[in-house]
Amino acid sequence: MPSPTALTPRCTTVSGRSLATAPYIDVLKSLGARVRLYDESAGELLDVAALTRELPHGSTVYHCGPAGLMAAVEEATAGWDTDKVRSESFGGDVPVDGTTLGDPFEVELAYSGGKVVQVGSDETMLRALLREKAPVDYSCEAGECGTCILDYRNGSVEHRDTVLEDDERGEMMTPCVSRARGRIVIDL
Ligand code: FES
């Protein structure tokens, strides 16, 4: 786990799927105790609520990242003065419970014995796959970075990303934002 450095108003916390491939990691490490690093691939999970409780009174939180992380920070800081919680979103609205993202559909995992995952109208395909423990990498959850791109074979896809080229859309999709109709077959 990261070193238990006391948080200060100038402390930075960085969490990543794998710090081995994270950009600027050497620069961040060179900052020493002012940075806490969490490597999800090593089982180090960021507990946003616990981290927020450690902050000295009057702290200001600046946050950006995947939609799920930003939602967790907003929840942990609910009730704070609004000028004490600053964020920058790179896109990708956080689905609010009950929000309809589109029609439900099914995802068949070709390399997992034909297992079928149901994607509800209020969840993304990425979140449905992660719920079923499918091995999908992701980062922005906004259709912008390309980390989650999957190959698909059969099915009709409604592409909502900004990362794929037109000539790629016939066989690739971004499950963090894009949806399908009926059933889609993917190479997972
Ligand atoms: S996670 Fe970035 S495009 Fe899907």
Q: What is the pLDDT of residues 129-145, one digit of tens each?
A: 999 999 998 888 888 88
User: What average pLDDT is seen over the chain?
Assistant: 83
Domain range summary for the chain, segments of one domain joined by +:
4-87, 105-186
139, 178, 186: residue to mutate for ligand 1 pocket, most atoms within 8 A of CB? 139
Question: How many CB atoms lie under 10 A from the CB of residue 93?
Answer: 12
Q: What is the pLDDT of residue 4?
A: 45
- Whether the model clears a pTM of 0.75, i.e. scores above it, the answer is no
The answer to whether residue 49 scores a pLDDT higher than 70 is yes
Task: Name the E strands within the chain.
Answer: 12-16, 35-39, 61-63, 85-87, 105-109, 115-119, 150-151, 156-158, 172-173, 179-181, 183-186
User: Please, which pLDDT band fits residue 3 given cuts at 50, 70 and 90?
Assistant: very low
**pLDDT over threshold 90, residue 180:** yes
Which is more confident, 7 or 55? 55
Assigned architecture for domain 105-186: Roll (3.10)
The mean pLDDT value for 106-123 works out to 94
Residue 171 scores a pLDDT above 50: yes
Please list every protein residue whose CB sits less than 6 Å from any atom of ligand 1: 138-141, 143-148, 161, 163, 174, 176
Q: Which atom of ligand 1 approaches the CA of 146 most closely?
A: 3
Residue 162 CA to ligand 1 centre (angstroms): 10
> 95 CA distance to ligand 1 centroid (A)?
15
Ligand 1, atom nearest to 177 Cα = 4
Structure tokens, 79: 């009730």
